[in-house]
Amino acid sequence: MGFFKMAGTAFTNLFRKPATLMYPVKPAKRFPNTRGTLTIEFEKCILCGICQKKCPSYAIEVDKTEKTWKLDRIRCISCGSCTDWCPKKCLHLDNAYTAPVTSEFKDSTRERHTGA
């Protein structure tokens, strides 16, 4: 038997600060380990293509002849497989999430690096 079991919890809630954040106006909490957006130091890249082979979602495209490294951000699931395998350690998972985009997301989320 029991009545008003929730009353205490509900009452303290009135005086507690909200448990939620107004993202993206307020930045999301993050930790050093947070797997966010993928970045590349293209100067170090030797275009070996290992990252392309190890990416489970086929987000990376490396072209040796054209000397390009391309990433489709919408495909990238921030798993970190490519960063683990890259022999030059030039790929990094930044701990900030990729910024939200509203228009023409396809183009604004494709990244192309070229050495040519």
Partner 1 sequence: MIKQTIIPFGPQHPVLPEPLQLDLVLEDEKVVQAIPSIGYVHRGLETLVTRQEYQEFVYVAERICGICSFIHGMGYCQAVEEIMKVEVPARGVFLRTIWAELSRIHSHLLWLGLAADAFGFENLFMQAWRIRETVLDIFEETTGGRVIFSVCKVGGARKDIQPDTLVRIGQTLEKMKKDVKSIEKVFLKDNSVRHRLAGIGILSAEDAQSLGAVGPVVRASGIKVDTRMLGYAAYPEAEFEIITGTAGDCYARCAVRIGEIYQSIDIIRQLIPKTPEGPVDVKVTGAPQGESYMRLEQPRGEVLYYIKANGTRLLDRFRVRTPTFANIPPLVKMLEGCDIADVPNIILTIDPCISCTER
SS3 51: helix
Subset of residues 29 to 88 that bind partner 1, contact rule: CB under 8 A = 29-31, 33-35, 53-57, 77-81, 84
Assigned token pair, 57? 């979602």
Lateral strand order in the sheet of 60-63: 60-63, 68-72, 110-114
Least CB distance to ligand SF4 at residue 73 (A): 8
**Are the beta carbons of 95 and 30 closer than 8 angstroms?**
yes
Q: Which is nearer to ligand SF4, 27 or 44 (CB)?
A: 44
Residues that bind ligand SF4 (CB under 6 A): 38, 40, 45-51, 54-55, 57, 59-60, 62, 76-82, 86-88, 90-91
